[in-house]
Amino acid sequence: MLNRKIKKIFNGYGRLADRRSEIEPDEIFLDSSNLPKFDTHQFEGRLVSPISKRNIALLTVFFGLAFVALVVKVGNLQIAEGEKYSNRSENNRLRHITVFAPRGVIYDRNGKELAWNIFGEDKEFALRKYTTLSGFSHILGYVKYPAKDSSGFYYNEDYIGKTGVENFFNGELSGENGLKITETNALGKVQSESVIRLPKEGGNLTLSIDAAVQNKFYESIAGLAQRAGFSGGAGAIMDARSGEILAMANYPEYSSQIMSDGRDGGAIRAYLENKNKPFLNRVIDGLYTPGSIVKPFVALGALTEKIISPSDTIFSGGSITVPNIYDPAKPSVFTEMRAHGYVDMRKALAESSNVYFYEVGGGYENQKGLGIYNIEKYMRMFGFGSDFPAGFFSGKSGIVPNPEWKKENFGDSQWRIGDTYNTSIGQYGFQITPMQAVRAVSMIANGGELLNPSIISNPSNPAAKIINMSEDDFQVVREGMRGAVLYGTATGLNIPQVEIAAKTGTAQLGSFKKFVNSWVIGFFPYENPKYAFAVLMERGSSVNLIGGVYVMRELIDWMSINAPEYLR
């Protein structure tokens, strides 16, 4: 009976199949015995309807519009903006590369290289190389190299001089960079190169410095500072006729090589943390109390103003006393290291009598004095306390004390005679630089020409100012300075190799006067002055017996063997 039912069903299906070309789902009957085990949650066994003609039409329109947009965009790239993108493509293939110009070489006066260039295999530009001799960093300075960003492109294509000659003469030392075009393929491999602009090398520079003298000068200053406990030192030797600087030493100093390379962070950090300031150019920017080295200039002022004649004598008993009108029991006493007896100007300079210059500067009893404003006038005539001429040696102007300065700094409008006395011997608020000192003493050597110092050999360098003073007065001061070497305070420079004239100075520092600056200035040869010098040893113990004179003696002894041409 079951078979008849199935047969009837299939007969009915056959008639339906004849009537329609496809089977309708509701015409198939399933019972529990033939139901597949579909996972309907995973869409198994579901019936899927065919895509409608409407959806197909919409898809056809969408793809048609996309194709039209693509055609329009391609046409725009190829036709409207074709040249633009062609150029961009060409630039991607042709790379413009800077050809770095070598920096100029720096020589000393004898042709010795002080700064030059070396080419490393891994560098596109030359590296700066500096002399290994000590004592040159404040003269030469250092450079900052061309620099790339993280993508490898140069955002700085120039060497930049940071200090010293490298900075001041950066324009002369810098060359003009060139340009080359490099062609690469799709893989970045270089196919060809073409230089379209050749680099132009920077100009070379010959300094007035003698490298050997400079090195020895520095070593003498550094050696004494380290042995005797000075915190620093500085010195300069200048041609008293042309203004050329033969040597200029600063201690302590930094390394030009370390600063240019920039890799030794520990050394650079040590420079920055050093309390003795190795970056300070003491020769031009260090301000120091001068002490007795101002006495030759006070003497010239007194002679010019007819305050005293060279042969007039003043008795130095070791001190002078000024009454105190407010409290007679407490007079002001101005002393010196020892009594000199009767001294004229030559002997007062040679032995550095304070009492003589107290009286000549400020007046005492029957002796008329210059007075503070005349002292200031003559100090400024010799270049102290004035703005330095613009140039490589332009630095601090310093201080010559006067009543206006005192009021501004101490709020005290009363200028006392004691202030004039102390100014007369280079104390109180007096501040000068070693470059001012060597420039001023060169005026004594050459008879009144205030020269513009030059770091360049054979400069065209007219005098900044010519002082109209008597040659006889200059000669009196020269004789007094020669006396200092023969029998006075600078006998350490009394040597047979060359006759030297000098003036020493010991400037006391601080309220308790535990420290001093030790100075010596002078010139040589005495009869035909060619070179002026100034040496400062900074902040040493007041009980130390050696200073600036020791440095110059050691240098002159060395020069007599290794550079005698300067002593003739």
Q: What is the pLDDT of residues 319-373, one digit of tens each?
A: 999 998 888 888 999 999 899 999 999 999 999 999 999 999 999 999 999 999 9
Amino acid letter, 8 = K
Distance CA(345)–CA(88), nearest Å, equals 85
Do 84 and 175 touch, CB atoms closer than 8 A?
no
The pLDDT value given to residue 86: 60
Closest CA to 175 of 101, 97, 98: 101
Considering 159, 175, 206, which residue would you say is the last residue of a domain? 206
The pLDDT value given to residue 19: 46
Same domain, 250 and 182: no
**How is residue 545 written in tokens?**
């017996």
The pLDDT value given to residue 190: 67
The pLDDT value given to residue 547: 95
Residue-range definition of the domain harbouring residue 455: 211-566
Residues 6+ apart with CB under 8 A from 494: 485, 486, 500
Do 547 and 537 touch, CB atoms closer than 8 A?
yes
Distance CA(62)–CA(66), nearest Å, equals 6
User: Which whole number is the average pLDDT over 57-64?
Assistant: 80
Query: Does pTM top 0.85 for this prediction?
Result: no
Let me know if residue 52 belongs to a domain.
Answer: no
Same domain, 148 and 292: no
Do 300 and 474 touch, CB atoms closer than 8 A?
yes
What total number of domains does the chain contain? 3
Same domain, 191 and 238: no
What are the DSSP E strand ranges found in 429-530? 449-450, 465-466, 501-509, 515-524
Same domain, 186 and 224: no
Which residue's entry shows tokens 């947009």? 69
SS3 423: helix
Same domain, 304 and 441: yes
Same domain, 266 and 404: yes
Do 559 and 464 touch, CB atoms closer than 8 A?
no
Do 302 and 308 touch, CB atoms closer than 8 A?
yes
Residue 84's H or E segment, with its range, is helix 82-93
Indicate if the pLDDT at residue 554 is higher than 60: yes
Same domain, 526 and 404: yes
Taking residue 406's Cβ as centre, other Cβ atoms within 10 Å add up to 19
Predicted confidence band of residue 280 (pLDDT cuts 50, 70, 90):
very high
Which residue's entry shows tokens 């520092």? 509
Same domain, 147 and 197: yes
Indicate if the pLDDT at residue 65 is higher than 70: yes
* CATH code of the domain covering residue 274: 3.40.710.10
Do 314 and 342 touch, CB atoms closer than 8 A?
yes
Considering 182, 206, 230, which residue would you say is the last residue of a domain? 206
Let me know if residue 198 belongs to a domain.
Answer: yes
Between helix 295-304 and helix 434-446 the angle, nearest 10°, is 40
Residues 6+ apart with CB under 8 A from 190: 182, 183, 184
Give Cα 109 distance to the centre of its chain. 22
Indicate if the pLDDT at residue 125 is higher than 70: yes
Do 439 and 523 touch, CB atoms closer than 8 A?
no
Do 116 and 214 touch, CB atoms closer than 8 A?
no
Let me know if residue 304 belongs to a domain.
Answer: yes
* Rounded (10°) CA dihedral 489, 492, 494, 498: -120
Let me know if residue 89 belongs to a domain.
Answer: no
> Which residues partner with 428 through β-bridges?
none
**How is residue 64 written in tokens?**
């048609």
**Quick one: what percent of the chain has pLDDT higher than 70?**
86
Considering 206, 222, 245, which residue would you say is the last residue of a domain? 206
* CATH code of the domain covering residue 155: 3.90.1310.10
Indicate if the pLDDT at residue 50 is higher than 90: no
Closest CA to 420 of 383, 376, 366, 377: 376
**From residue 93, how far is each of 78, 148, 182 by CA, in Å?**
19, 21, 8
The pLDDT value given to residue 47: 55
Return mean pLDDT, the chain: 88
Let me know if residue 50 belongs to a domain.
Answer: no
**How is residue 499 written in tokens?**
């006759």
Distance CA(255)–CA(259), nearest Å, equals 6
Let me know if residue 245 belongs to a domain.
Answer: yes
Helix boundaries (H) for 425-470:
434-446
Distance CA(460)–CA(462), nearest Å, equals 7
SS3 140: helix
User: Which whole number is the average pLDDT over 139-149?
Assistant: 95
Indicate if the pLDDT at residue 478 is higher than 90: yes
Distance CA(538)–CA(418), nearest Å, equals 26
Same domain, 130 and 250: no
The pLDDT value given to residue 10: 47
Let me know if residue 49 belongs to a domain.
Answer: no
Indicate if the pLDDT at residue 549 is higher than 70: yes
The pLDDT value given to residue 166: 98
Closest CA to 177 of 106, 121, 114, 96: 96
Same domain, 26 and 173: no
Let me know if residue 57 belongs to a domain.
Answer: no
Do 175 and 104 touch, CB atoms closer than 8 A?
yes
Same domain, 28 and 171: no
Same domain, 121 and 256: no
